[in-house]
Amino acid sequence: MSDRLIYLPLGGAGEIGMNTYVYGYGPEGKERLIVVDLGVTFPDMESSPGVDLIMADAAWLEANVNRIDAIFLTHGHEDHIGAMAHLWPKLKAPVYARRFTAHLVQLKMEEAGLPSDMIRIVEPRPKAVEIGPFTVQFVPVSHSIPESSALVIDTPAGRVVHTGDFKLDGNPVVGEAFDPLEWHEIAHEGAGIKALICDSTNVFTQTAGRSESTLVSPLKDLISEQKGMVVATTFASNVARLKTLAEAGREAGRSVCLLGRAMRKMVHVAEETGVLKNFPNVLSPEDAVEVGRDNLMLIVTGSQGERRAATAQLSRGKYLGFEMKDGDTFLFSSKTIPGNERSVIRIMNALSEMGVDVVDDKGGLYHVSGHANRPDLEAVHDLLRPQMLIPMHGEHRHLREHAKIAAAKGIATEVATNGTMIDLTGVVPKVVEYIETGRHYLDGTVLIGALDGVVRERIRMALNGHVLITVIIDEDDVPLGDAWVEVMGLPERGKSGGDMVRIVEDELSAFLESAPDKVVRNDDKLDEALRRIARQVAMEEVGKKPEVTVVVSRLMAE
């Protein structure tokens, strides 16, 4: 049986977030495997109410756990490492990451009460990790978090480049620049690059990306012109932006305070691991609250409208003694992730009602993306000249558009969404299998499957309300008294004008008075009948078919 080189996305292909990718080499069905990233995506109230985190279903990985040689982490964003504490215990493979990312994962594992000694800190290329049939090098790339890396994966079937998240930035303020000379060497070593597995996030943005350093002057100018208190929010992990904002505040003569645990943690880890130097001195919240408003700048978490973060708290009133007032300025130095627009706009309007001047990214004046735009992607295609290209990290429309660009350049390509196994061994990528994939929800402290029905029932209750029916049956199988009804999420009165609870109770009690003995004696039949009546009445009165729970209590003869 001949060996083959395979690529299998389990998350992150056909969506933005939840990045989980698998590479394998060996005989069909017996390939040795490496996993690249174990990320999460975040829930929304429409499709996953009450859920805390969403991650890839690891069933296929668990079924093949004895074949997994290692897990490689490209960088420290939650959509690449957020599932580590939840999925690693199922896989128990050694983990390889650069120092900053490794430190974040160690904290995550320790908070979950899990060991962190399985993490191996690696140095970037030319250092390499040799494991199974793979030789893996971490190659620094610029992104919106320090020590982001692409992976160069050498196998007996050829060289694969997994870009991770990247942009072309020669001066990223904090972190490493994209080095085209190094990538030229990578592209021309040996037989060149067989397959490029490439970030597709900004494929529809037609202008070339801008450097993080271009924000320094506009941010300084903006902050120096303001009166009253200045508050800025951005992604907590964007350490370069935090430094630029803090320096701009200090140069404007303001004391600076960081608000938000995630933000303080990122700065601490960046300083501890040596990737962040000369960060301006900042005040504690306790000291900052004593500073005059005209001389204070807050840098806060919650740029995506997260309800419990500092931004949302400030929009609702006081937070840790701070309060937004007429004449203050609030800057969103960030781009709103699709799906978060409603929450962010709600906060902006709440701030505006307070008299606060709200400033957004102004078409890039106060924010630049951490992902390569279309011209940058094309430049990378030309630089690396891969034999084949598989788009990743994007919704289906992103992947398809990226594949079109590659095909127009004569590069063999294939759109591979989650669960699509691709054979990279030949001269063109070939779909060889479809793996059943899904999602797991972290619901409170428990992992549940997306198809388990828990969230589906929650959505149904949210849309249609809930009716609880309690009936008591005596020792002689005779209903004792009337049915008792409690209603949640439904109007108190229906279109008839009567009390909704009373109407349902009357209909149920009337049924119980004349119900056949065979129904009253059988819990299942009684449940079905009461449920049907309650839903029918609700439909007639309020136009809803609520979820119904029936509790039948039977008294036992002594």
The pLDDT tens digits for 351-376 are 999 999 999 987 788 999 999 999 99
Largest CA distance in the chain: 89
Residue 52 in this model has a pLDDT that exceeds 90: no
Residue 352 forms part of a structural domain: yes
Residue 46 in this model has a pLDDT that exceeds 80: no
Residue 50 in this model has a pLDDT that exceeds 80: no
Residue 458 forms part of a structural domain: no
Residue 15 in this model has a pLDDT that exceeds 70: yes
Residue 444 CB coordination number (10 Å): 10
Contacts of 544 (CB under 8 A, 6+ apart): 464, 465, 490, 538
Confidence of residue 208 (pLDDT cuts 50, 70, 90): very high
pLDDT of residue 191: 92
- Chosen domain end from 313, 338, 359: 359
Beta pairing partners, 41: 54
Question: Tens digits of per-residue pLDDT, 493-532?
Answer: 988 988 999 999 999 999 998 888 888 889 899 999 999 9
- In terms of domains, do 188 and 75 share one? yes
Residue 242 forms part of a structural domain: yes
How far is Cα 94 from Cα 438, in angstroms, rounded to an integer?
24
pLDDT of residue 119: 96
pLDDT of residue 1: 63
Residue 61's CATH number: 3.60.15.10
Q: What is the 3-state secondary structure (H, E, C) of 180-203?
A: HHHHHHHHHCCCCEEEEEEECCEC
How far is Cα 539 from Cα 449, in angstroms, rounded to an integer?
31
Instruction: Name the DSSP letter for residue 126.
Output: T
How far is Cα 476 from Cα 470, in angstroms, rounded to an integer?
18
pLDDT of residue 452: 76
Going by C-alpha positions, the residue among 10, 189, 169, 416 that lies closest to residue 406 is 416
Confidence of residue 457 (pLDDT cuts 50, 70, 90): confident
Question: Tens digits of per-residue pLDDT, 210-249?
Answer: 999 999 999 999 999 999 999 999 999 999 999 999 999 9
- In terms of domains, do 277 and 199 share one? no
Residue 201 in this model has a pLDDT that exceeds 80: yes
- In terms of domains, do 264 and 330 share one? yes
Question: Tens digits of per-residue pLDDT, 534-546?
Answer: 999 999 999 999 9
Beta pairing partners, 493: 499
- Chosen domain end from 332, 359, 386: 359
Residue 546 forms part of a structural domain: yes
- In terms of domains, do 245 and 178 share one? no
Residue 127 in this model has a pLDDT that exceeds 70: yes
Residue 172 forms part of a structural domain: yes
pLDDT of residue 27: 97
pTM for the model: 0.90
Residue 481 in this model has a pLDDT that exceeds 90: no
- In terms of domains, do 76 and 198 share one? yes
Residue 514 CB coordination number (10 Å): 6
Per-residue tokens: 277 = 């130097």
Q: Is 463 helix (H, G, I), strand (E, B) or coil?
A: helix
How far is Cα 123 from Cα 557, in angstroms, rounded to an integer?
76
pLDDT of residue 557: 66
Q: Report the mean per-residue pLDDT for the chain.
A: 93
How far is Cα 259 from Cα 303, in angstroms, rounded to an integer?
12
- In terms of domains, do 222 and 342 share one? yes
How far is Cα 139 from Cα 128, in angstroms, rounded to an integer?
10
Residue 411 in this model has a pLDDT that exceeds 70: yes
Residue 11 forms part of a structural domain: yes
Are 330 and 353 within 8 A, CB to CB?
no
Residue 455 forms part of a structural domain: no
pLDDT of residue 558: 62
Contacts of 168 (CB under 8 A, 6+ apart): 142, 178, 208, 209, 372, 376, 379, 380
Domain count of the fold of the chain:
3
Residue 353's CATH number: 3.40.50.10710
Which phi-psi region, left, alpha or beta, contains residue 253 (left: φ > 0; alpha: ψ -120 to 50)?
left
- In terms of domains, do 525 and 402 share one? no
Q: What is the 3-state secondary structure (H, E, C) of 187-244?
A: HHCCCCEEEEEEECCECCCCCCCCCHHHHHHHHHHHHHCCCCCEEEECCCCCHHHHHH
Average pLDDT over residues 460-467: 91
- In terms of domains, do 159 and 102 share one? yes
CA-to-CA separations, 9 to 34, 60, 509, in angstroms, rounded:
12, 11, 56
pLDDT of residue 538: 93
Alpha helices for 55-146 (secondary structure H): 59-63, 78-81, 84-91, 99-111
Length, in residues, of the chain:
558
Determine which helix (DSSP H) or strand (DSSP E) holds 532, and give its type and residue range: helix 523-542
- In terms of domains, do 201 and 218 share one? no
Going by C-alpha positions, the residue among 85, 43, 40 that lies closest to residue 307 is 43
Are 74 and 104 within 8 A, CB to CB?
no
pLDDT of residue 476: 84
Are 320 and 231 within 8 A, CB to CB?
no
- Chosen domain end from 302, 332, 359: 359
Residue 396 in this model has a pLDDT that exceeds 90: yes
- In terms of domains, do 189 and 219 share one? no
CA-to-CA separations, 295 to 220, 254, 283, 291, 300, in angstroms, rounded:
15, 4, 12, 7, 16
How far is Cα 339 from Cα 534, in angstroms, rounded to an integer?
36
Residue 477's CATH number: 3.10.20.580
- Per the structure, the complete domain to which residue 346 belongs is given by 212-359
- In terms of domains, do 41 and 120 share one? yes
Contacts of 83 (CB under 8 A, 6+ apart): 18, 20, 38, 39, 40, 53, 55, 56
Residue 96 forms part of a structural domain: yes
Per-residue tokens: 428 = 């063109």
- In terms of domains, do 499 and 549 share one? yes
